Amino acid sequence: MKKVYLDNASTTQLLPEVILEMTKILTEDYGNPSSTHSLGRNAKSILELSRKSIAKHLNATAAEIIFTSCGTEANNWILRSAVKDLKVARIITSKIEHHAVLHTALALQNEYGIQVDFVKVKSNGAIDITHLVELLSQEKKTLVSLMHVNNETGTILDLSKVSQICKEHNTLFHSDTVQSIGKIEVDLQKTPIDFIVASAHKFHGPKGVGFAFVRKNSGLQPLFFGGEQEKGQRPGTEAIHQIAGMAKALELSYSNLNEDRNYISELKNYLTERLKGDFPDSKINGENTFYNLVNVILPFTADKTSMLLFNLDMKGIAVSRGSACQSGSIRPSHVLAEMLTDEDLKKPSLRISFSHFNTKEDIDLLMEGLKSI
């Protein structure tokens, strides 16, 4: 049975070049980058070349890239240290953030008694910028944390605009860019943002590695303590093969960006046309959404809804309902809950997300699968 993988917002297939790079490093370059002998120096050089390469693609300096174990860790670190060390007394965020931000902000509210304010979300999934500006009029040391591309609906935040607004209000700005890094150009010289985070497995790199961009002289302090790795900002022996795999994946993502983006956008158009034709009562969630993702409400009855993902899975088709972290859960998605009416929330929403590995045939198989349910 052909496997149809349409869950790329959840994770992506490794690029063959990434596997080759990682295998070579695992086999030959096993030194510890903190060792002074030649194997160690070799590992250190791989580490620093990876950092330079990642920084170059984002127009940052190498010193501003700190490697972490994943996007979740990077988000936790930035929010927590902002409160603990930078004395942020208030976090402005939204209820459609990934739980790595949302749950961290709430935990910090509990632990430190900081104020957490939520910017309104419009029914089309966009952040209400007028409300953000209103919230920023309060005098309190504040961190704004708003994601770039939403992992469930693909709605996009205007990073340039929001970073300018934050700068004008003398406010720190963090963006969870896990869904956008490697998929859209981000210029950190032109965008006055303080912190962003990324995760390699979202752009065809390995799981278990990510990075934080922390603007120079931010004052952020480490979450845990140990060696001098990452200039003491993130101790622990660096996973060189993961880091080099991530750098390779990012390099390939950006060198093929235009071609891949055009190709994936065409797949998305094809899917939306087919949905209109085969399910005229379906409804896309969100407006002006990212090119790799469609979140759609399907006009299915309750009896069909409960078994939807299971039935597609039996046909070899992998898609997601809400966010991947919640698949299998019967709770409605916390993101859709902010956008949809109660009636629409009861209907099944599917998240279909593409990569350049997908074809129109995958979409045809998905549509056949949905029609046969």
To the nearest whole angstrom, how small is the minimum distance from the Cβ of residue 103 to ligand PLP? Answer: 11
Q: How far apart are CA 7 and CA 367, in angstroms?
A: 15
Q: How far apart are CA 290 and CA 79, in angstroms?
A: 26
Pairing type for strands 195-199 and 210-214 reads antiparallel
To the nearest whole angstrom, how small is the minimum distance from the Cβ of residue 138 to ligand PLP? Answer: 27
DSSP state of 7: B
Complex with ligand PLP: residue 43 or 194, whichever CB lies closer: 194
Which of these, 197, 141, 194, lies nearest to 164 by C-alpha position? 194
3 state SS of 160: helix
To the nearest whole angstrom, how small is the minimum distance from the Cβ of residue 277 to ligand PLP? Answer: 30
To the nearest whole angstrom, how small is the minimum distance from the Cβ of residue 152 to ligand PLP? Answer: 8
To the nearest whole angstrom, how small is the minimum distance from the Cβ of residue 181 to ligand PLP? Answer: 10
What is the Cα 321 distance to its own chain's centre?
A: 17
Q: How far apart are CA 278 and CA 301, in angstroms?
A: 16
Q: Which amino acid, 305?
A: T
Complex with ligand PLP: residue 75 or 282, whichever CB lies closer: 75
* Residue that has been written with the tokens 């739980």 in this structure: 99
To the nearest whole angstrom, how small is the minimum distance from the Cβ of residue 289 to ligand PLP? Answer: 14
Exactly one of 86, 106, 325, 337 is catalytic; which is it?
A: 325
H-helix segments, 66-218: 71-84, 99-112, 129-135, 159-168
| Contact set with ligand PLP (CB under 6 A) | 70-72, 98, 100, 147, 151, 176, 178-179, 199, 210
Q: How far apart are CA 211 and CA 243, in angstroms?
A: 9
- Answer for the pair 42, 49: CB distance below 8 angstroms, yes or no: no
Q: How far apart are CA 31 and CA 44, in angstroms?
A: 8
Backbone angles phi, psi at 91, to 5 degrees: -115, 130
* Residue that has been written with the tokens 């194997």 in this structure: 39
Complex with ligand PLP: residue 73 or 260, whichever CB lies closer: 73
To the nearest whole angstrom, how small is the minimum distance from the Cβ of residue 342 to ligand PLP? Answer: 26
Complex with ligand PLP: residue 153 or 229, whichever CB lies closer: 153
Per DSSP, the residues of 265-293 read: HHHHHHHHHHHHHH-TT-EESSSS--TTE
C-alpha torsion 125→265→318→312, nearest 10: 90
Complex with ligand PLP: residue 282 or 320, whichever CB lies closer: 320
- Closest-by-Cβ residue to ligand PLP is 71
H-helix segments, 290-359: 302-305, 308-314, 336-339, 342-346
Complex with ligand PLP: residue 176 or 230, whichever CB lies closer: 176
Q: Which amino acid, 58?
A: L
Whether residue 166 lies in the annotated active site: no
Complex with ligand PLP: residue 176 or 260, whichever CB lies closer: 176
**Residue positions annotated with a catalytic role:** 325
